[in-house]
Amino acid sequence: MLTLRLPPLWWLLTRWITLAVLTGTLPSWSQSTQAPDGIVTFRADSARILLPAAVLKVGTDKASTLNLSGSPEPSATWEFKPTRWGHYSVEMDVAGAPPTGAELELQVGGQTVRSTFKPGAKPSENQAISLGTFYLEKEAPTRLDMRLVGPANVPPVALKAVRFVPTAEGLVPPPSSDGVITLPSGAATAHSVTMRYEPSAVKNCLGYWVNPSDWADWQFQVDRPGIYEVELWQGCGRGQGGSEVKVQVADKTFSFVVEETGHFQNFVPRRLGRVQFRPAGAFNLAIHPQSKKAAAVMDVRQIRLIPAPTAVEAAPSGLAFVGAQRVVILGDSITYDGKWVDFLETWLRTTYPDSPAEIINLGLPSETASGLSEAGHAGGSFPRPDVHERLDRVLEKTHPDLILACYGMNDGIYFPQSEERLKKFQDGIQRLHEKAAHVGVRVIHLTPAVFDPVPLAGRTLPAGHDAYPQPYEGYNEVLDQYAAWLVGQRAQGWQVIDIHSAVNQFLAQQRQTEPKFIVSPDGVHPNEQGHWLMSREVIRELGGSAEVTSPSNASALPQPILTLVRQRQSILKDAWLTTVGHQRPGMNPGKPLPDAEQAAKEITAQLTKLIRP
């Protein structure tokens, strides 16, 4: 009997694997990974060979090449799992000159990148052939398929490696008419494992910066040599500040510590210093984190390079206001009256003529943040409007960068102190703050104005009533508590300007010599001086000089500019209120918004001549 002796199983398995590797029939189980600089490299020896049109060869220097011949189907493939989405350029290293006219086709993430080799395409040492770009939409496992387009007799291409190299999403726009160079986040190249450009309208930033080794840079052109201010727009969530970052541009390095802004999409301009660009030409600006304090470093919306003669030197507390594109003012009838808003804008225009801020007054008489309304308000004709009824529309239609909110006067509905009413006020303000932060809008809160019973002698009521058809005589003490709670929110990172205490103190000082001195003729609505006292405290908080904020009236503000600002605000506020919509009857509808904006544009031209004669 003939006995057949079979080799051991381990020997057969070893021989099969060896043969499979040599013939290219064994799949490659190793995936390409993202390098620290974001580059993904696909080596020839890590490809999975699908067709005989791809042959792996090992040279005398042990460097592998993948010889690709013409094929109607992909002949080699790689698998990889990117850790960042975004734009990539495709580069290829080859051995020898590729055949002229041959086309290499790559398919990745449902996209096709195709390039024709031109005469002289052989790269010089340490260079690669660029094949094109593609956009990777997600971080899911992805496959790269490759083939050489053409008939089987096309001379093969000896491929050493393919690389996906992060590249910018867009271009740096030309400088503005006043020479400001803006480097938007979408024009940056993210050299990163996780950090990427996030294109949604709410974000539009470099975000997901959880890896402190990730960095970004911009390539840009300077046409006007000179000294420029470097302004970085940075956002950072509550409890996430403290990371250390360096910015390098030209021959300068700027270091800064990331500040909390209340939300990663609340972007605040940071002035880092000055740099000289000389001569004109191409430059590079790079951001390199040095440490990560908490979960993420920061988000970056843009960097602006501002010619030094026109640079805005804002105080840290005023940067968000001075640098905002659009500021919306919310409040009640005191804000709608608008004198304090006019004073504030006049100061802004004269002190920071290059500020881009557009100020929209959306104050609404009778409004509250608490949602409360006393029985019989306005003779029973309508309840008090609630800002939350229109807040979504405000955010959607105005797209603000910053909100100034002044509530409280109406929120206690002129009754004695009540924990329930205080809680309604607190919840309403908290909702306003959080809803704005959710869409990346920063809020600066103002404490309520002062209620003054002196001009209301005989027209107030003491405590102990069930209803208050006339205001409670101690209502200002209720507002004291509302103001104190708001000031306490500074510990949560809120920016709160305490106008209430400032006006209280001013009144007390004046009444030492003039007991019947008033700034609110009806006890609620300030007169011209009362509005100035409110605005003065805001201006002081935002970095106004002592020359402006020392007088007890608006005498330091240029009156011709104030007059034009008032005219423009008067035209715009009713048009904007109607456009946004509200539930307060009896309001002037104003002009249609396009007509109002055209009229405002003509006034702006007059303002510009006064500000920049």
Mean pLDDT for the stretch of residues 57-84: 80
**Residue 14 above 70 pLDDT?**
no
Which uninterrupted H or E stretch holds 503? Answer: helix 499-510
Residue 601 tokens, joined? 């544009």
**Residue 120 above 90 pLDDT?**
no
Higher pLDDT, residue 84 or 374: 374
pLDDT band at 122 (very low <50, low <70, confident <90, very high): low
Question: 186: alpha, beta or left, given left = phi > 0 and alpha = psi -120 to 50?
Answer: alpha
The C-alpha angle 285, 290, 291, rounded to 5 degrees, equals 140
Please name the residue that has the structure tokens 């696909």: 42
> Domain 181-311 is in which class?
mainly beta
**Residue 28 above 80 pLDDT?**
no
Query: pTM of whole model > 0.85?
Result: no
pLDDT in tens, 485-503: 999 999 888 999 999 999 9
**Residue 394 above 60 pLDDT?**
yes
- Enumerate the β-bridge partners of residue 238: none
pLDDT band at 10 (very low <50, low <70, confident <90, very high): very low
pLDDT band at 118 (very low <50, low <70, confident <90, very high): low
Rounded CA Rg of the chain: 33
**Residue 3 above 50 pLDDT?**
no
H helix runs in 218-330, sequence order:
319-322
CA–CA distances in Å: residue 266 to residues 181, 301, 356, 403: 22, 9, 17, 11
**Residue 126 above 60 pLDDT?**
no
Whether the CA torsion 79, 84, 90, 93 is positive or negative: it is negative
Residue 497 tokens, joined? 């300007």
**Residue 571 above 50 pLDDT?**
yes
Q: 198 with 184: CB under 8 angstroms?
A: no
| Across 99-113, 260-274, 596-610, least confident range | 99-113
Q: 247 with 234: CB under 8 angstroms?
A: no
Q: What is the 3-state secondary structure (H, E, C) of 46-99?
A: HCEECCCCEEEEECCCCCEEEEECECCCCCEEEEECCCCCEEEEEEEEECCCCC
Give the N- to C-terminal CA distance of the chain in Å, as an integer: 116
Mean pLDDT for the stretch of residues 567-596: 97
pLDDT band at 21 (very low <50, low <70, confident <90, very high): very low
Taking the C-alpha atoms of residue 522 and residue 535, their distance in angstroms, rounded to an integer, is 19
Counting Cβ atoms within 10 Å, is residue 138 exposed (0-12), middle (13-18) or buried (19+)? exposed
Taking the C-alpha atoms of residue 300 and residue 452, their distance in angstroms, rounded to an integer, is 46
Percent of residues, the chain, with pLDDT higher than 90:
58
pLDDT in tens, 359-383: 999 999 999 999 999 999 999 999 9
β-pairing, 157-166 vs 40-43, is antiparallel
**Residue 160 above 50 pLDDT?**
yes
Q: Is 159 helix (H, G, I), strand (E, B) or coil?
A: strand
Taking the C-alpha atoms of residue 257 and residue 534, their distance in angstroms, rounded to an integer, is 33
Cα atoms in the 13 Å half-sphere on the side-chain side of 103: 12
Closest Cα to residue 559, out of 369, 400, 349? 349
**Residue 481 above 50 pLDDT?**
yes
pLDDT in tens, 201-227: 888 999 999 999 999 999 999 999 888
CATH topology of domain 27-166: Jelly Rolls (2.60.120)
Cα 85 from chain centroid (whole Å) = 19
Mean pLDDT for the stretch of residues 163-173: 89
Q: 40 with 164: CB under 8 angstroms?
A: yes
CATH topology of domain 318-611: Rossmann fold (3.40.50)
Cα 319 from chain centroid (whole Å) = 14
Query: What count of other Cβ atoms lies within 10 Å of the Cβ of residue 417?
Result: 17
Residue 447 tokens, joined? 């404490």
Q: Is 15 helix (H, G, I), strand (E, B) or coil?
A: helix
**Residue 452 above 80 pLDDT?**
yes
| Predicted pLDDT at 108 | 86
**Residue 524 above 60 pLDDT?**
yes
Higher pLDDT, residue 294 or 154: 294
How do the domains of the chain map onto residue ranges? 27-166, 181-311, 318-611
| Predicted pLDDT at 46 | 86
**Residue 550 above 70 pLDDT?**
yes
| Across 8-12, 102-106, 256-260, least confident range | 8-12
For 573-603, give one letter per residue: b (16+ CB within 10 A) or e. bbbbbbbbebebeeeeebbebeebeebbeeb
Residue 231 identity = E
Residue 549 tokens, joined? 């904020």
Taking the C-alpha atoms of residue 308 and residue 304, their distance in angstroms, rounded to an integer, is 12
Mean pLDDT for the stretch of residues 81-103: 80
Mean pLDDT for the stretch of residues 138-164: 81
Q: 447 with 482: CB under 8 angstroms?
A: yes
Q: 50 with 56: CB under 8 angstroms?
A: no
Give the dihedral of Cα atoms 75, 78, 84, 90; nearest 10 deg.
-40
**27-166 against 318-611: fold identical:** no
Cα 254 from chain centroid (whole Å) = 21
Question: 447: alpha, beta or left, given left = phi > 0 and alpha = psi -120 to 50?
Answer: beta
Higher pLDDT, residue 53 or 118: 53
| Predicted pLDDT at 124 | 47
